[in-house]
Amino acid sequence: MAHIRYRAIIKVLCGECQAKVNENKRIDVKCPNCSFKKYQNVNNLLSFNSFITKAFPNWIWFNIYEYKKGELGALLKSFQRGKNEPTAKTL
């Protein structure tokens, strides 16, 4: 079986946007203080999910892409904090 490898892009909210989410208020999706983190070698979605929850407590969503050398592969799936988190190691 081929080794599973995905790329991931995570959106991490700034403190101000996180506070708005906590109050169910709208956030500016282009807020310059929020950040994106990229990972190139994700092979277990469950451990990746627990890792980012510890490392970036304000993550709000992440996208999983197929891994392609030198380019962003196709978007495979989007996950949302508290609503649609991974339930299996792979897609």
Considering the complex, what minimum distance in angstroms separates the CB of residue 24 from Zn ion? 16
Pair of tokens at residue 80: 């949302």
Considering the complex, what minimum distance in angstroms separates the CB of residue 82 from Zn ion? 18
Pair of tokens at residue 46: 């469950």
Considering the complex, what minimum distance in angstroms separates the CB of residue 91 from Zn ion? 29
Residue with smaller CB distance to Zn ion, 31 or 76: 31
Q: Which residues contact 13 (CB under 8 A, 6 or more apart)?
A: 21, 27, 31, 34, 58, 59, 60
DSSP 55: H
What is the footprint of Zn ion within residues 19-78 (CB under 5 A)? 31, 33-34
Site residues for Zn ion per CB under 5 A: 14, 17, 31, 33-34
